[in-house]
Structures are given as structure tokens and as C-alpha cells.
């Protein structure tokens, strides 16, 4: 992934995809807490998973767009205002965020097919399942999906806290690199 030393912030498409991904991850995780508000078998409970799966498909599209943007787009080098060990650590954390995101999404789709859920995008279209329903296996896969989702959210929270610490404590340009010029000149 070549970098362009003239750039001091991430390209606009990557910034847009970053913030849309962050909002979608918070929404998809948050919506799972609504499940317990509704009794089993009610349409409201089914709607929770309809939203969860629909936002999941949206996230898959965001990540699928982001990978080529990241690989083939023009990227800035690491901030000159942070040390080399810090740049290596943040690079590793970003790599792990991508891995957890992709793994959670892939296991989520597999889980939906195993449970026999309709994998639909807000009922606009439905992806037919290529595999047979297997509720026993689904019970094990849900544990893996939940573990990956929790790891992703914990790491994203640490990542957000680090970004805020860079901005307000270390007062460097790390957060600005992910914001538009008119918000953070
Ligand atoms: C970053 C993305 C995702 C996050 C953070 C996430 C998170 C979660 C969490 C926390 C649960 C609850 C587990 C439990 O209560 O035991 C869950 C369940 C589930 N997720 Fe996801 N998920 C994501 C993506 C997806 C995707 C892409 C799909 C499918 C297209 C999906 C399908 C499901 C299904 C079918 C369940 C179980 C529903 C049920 O118990 O009836 N998830 N997810
Ligand atoms: C689920 C939520 C989030 C995910 C999955 C996520 C993921 C990522 C990833 C993978 C990168 C590396 C750049 C790239 O290759 O695209 C990145 C960069 C960045 N993120 Fe996030 N992020 C999330 C939320 C946040 C939040 C809430 C903040 C701020 C409070 C934030 C601030 C930043 C900043 C400042 C960078 C640029 C760091 C640099 O240039 O060295 N992120 N994020």
C-alpha cells in the first residue's frame, strides 16, 4: 500500500467510510440489547434481527468498498507527530480491527444461514441460503459470533479512547487526519 508523503490526512472516501462503519457497528451492536424487551415469537423480536441482519449487509458493503479504497487509494504516511513505536502499535491495532470486523461479519452471515433467518436487506432483496439449517451447530456458532463482536467493540472503544487522548492530551494531529479540513483545519 504505497503512501504519499505530501498528504497530511486520510482521503475523503476513506474518512466517509470510516465514520459510516463506526456508526453502523454501534447500531448493529446496540440493537441486540433490544431483544430482551420483547417476548419470544413476537414480531417486534423478529424486527430486531431483521434490522441486525440488514445493517450487517450494509456493513459488508462498506467494508467491501473500503478495502480497495485503502489498498489502491492515496494514503498519508503515519503522522510525523507520533513516535515510531506508537505508529507501529496503531498500525497493528488498525489491522486487528479490520480482521475482527471481517470475521464478525462472515460468522454472522454463516450463523443467519444456519439458523434459517432470512438474510434480507431491509426486505428489498433476500440472499438465498446455500446451506441446510442446523440449529445445534448454530448454538455453537452464536458463541463465536458473540465473542468476536465483543472483542471488536472493546478494541474499537480502546481505539476511540486513544484517538481522543491523541487530540486532547498529546495534542497531535492523529484525530484531525480522520476529520474533514473545515471541521479540523
Ligand atoms: C460487526 C458486525 C456485527 C456485530 C457487532 C454483531 C453482534 C451480534 C451480537 C452481540 C449478537 C448477540 C449474540 C447473543 O445474544 O448471544 C448477535 C447475534 C446475531 N447476529 Fe450479529 N453482529 C454483526 C454482524 C452480523 C451479520 C453480518 C449477520 C448476518 C447477516 C449477523 C447475524 C446475527 C444472527 C442471526 C444473530 C443471532 C440472532 C438470534 O439469536 O436470533 N450478525 N450479533
Ligand atoms: C467501530 C468503530 C470503529 C472502527 C471499526 C474503526 C476502525 C478504524 C480503522 C481500521 C482505522 C485505520 C484506517 C483505515 O485503514 O481505514 C481507523 C483509523 C482511525 N480511527 Fe477509527 N474506528 C472506529 C471508531 C472510531 C472512533 C469512535 C474514533 C474517534 C473517537 C476513531 C478515530 C480514528 C482515527 C483518528 C483514525 C486515524 C488514525 C491515524 O491516522 O493514524 N475511530 N479506525
Give pLDDT tens digits for 109-158: 999 999 999 999 999 999 999 999 999 999 999 999 999 999 999 999 99
> Is residue 105 situated within a structural domain?
yes
Which residue has its alpha carbon closest to ligand 2 atom 39?
174
Whole-number CA gyration radius for the chain: 19
**Residue 49 within a domain:** yes
Ligand 1, CB within 6 Å, residue ranges: 25, 28-29, 32, 49, 52-53, 56-57, 59, 101, 104-105, 108-109, 111-112, 115, 117, 119, 142, 145-146, 149, 152
> Is residue 118 within 8 Å of residue 98, measured between CB atoms?
no
| Residue 4 domain-assigned (yes or no) | no
Instruction: Give which of 21, 27, 34, 17 is closest to 100, Cα–Cα.
Output: 21
pLDDT tens per residue across span 35-74: 999 999 999 999 999 999 999 999 999 999 999 998 998 8
Q: Is residue 33 part of a domain?
A: yes
Domain tally, the chain: 1
Furthest CA-CA distance within the chain:
57
- The CA–CA distances, whole Å, from 28 to 18, 45, 52, 104, 170 equal 15, 14, 5, 11, 32
Q: Specify the CATH number for the domain of residue 66.
A: 1.20.950
In a domain, 29, yes or no: yes
pTM of the model: 0.94
| Residues 97/155, Cβ–Cβ less than 8 Å | yes
Provide the residue range defining the domain that includes 160. Answer: 12-178
Within a domain: 140: yes
- Best CA proximity match to 175, nearest among 10, 21, 20: 10
The closest alpha carbon to 87, from 99, 100, 76, belongs to: 76
Evaluate whether residue 185 is within a structural domain: no
Amino acid at each position: 500500500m504505497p503512501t504519499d508523503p505530501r498528504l497530511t490526512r486520510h482521503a475523503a472516501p476513506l474518512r466517509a467510510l470510516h465514520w459510516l462503519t463506526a456508526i453502523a457497528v454501534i447500531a448493529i451492536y446496540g440493537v441486540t440489547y433490544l431483544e430482551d424487551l420483547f417476548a419470544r415469537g413476537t414480531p417486534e423480536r423478529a424486527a430486531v434481527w431483521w434490522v441486525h441482519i440488514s445493517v450487517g449487509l450494509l456493513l459488508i458493503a462498506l467494508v467491501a468498498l473500503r478495502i480497495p479504497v485503502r489498498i489502491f487509494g492515496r494514503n498519508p504516511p503515519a503522522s510525523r507527530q507520533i513516535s515510531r513505536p506508537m505508529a507501529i502499535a496503531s498500525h497493528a491495532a488498525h489491522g486487528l480491527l479490520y480482521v475482527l470486523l471481517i470475521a464478525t461479519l462472515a460468522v454472522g452471515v454463516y450463523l443467519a444461514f444456519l439458523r434459517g433467518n432470512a438474510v434480507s436487506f431491509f426486505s428489498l432483496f433476500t440472499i438465498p441460503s446455500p446451506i441446510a439449517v442446523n440449529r445445534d451447530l448454530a448454538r455453537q456458532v452464536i458463541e463465536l459470533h458473540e465473542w468476536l463482536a465483543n472483542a471488536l467493540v472493546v478494541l474499537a472503544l480502546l481505539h476511540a479512547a486513544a484517538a481522543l487522548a491523541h487530540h486532547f492530551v498529546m495534542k497531535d494531529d492523529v484525530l484531525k487526519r480522520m476529520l474533514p479540513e473545515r471541521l479540523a483545519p
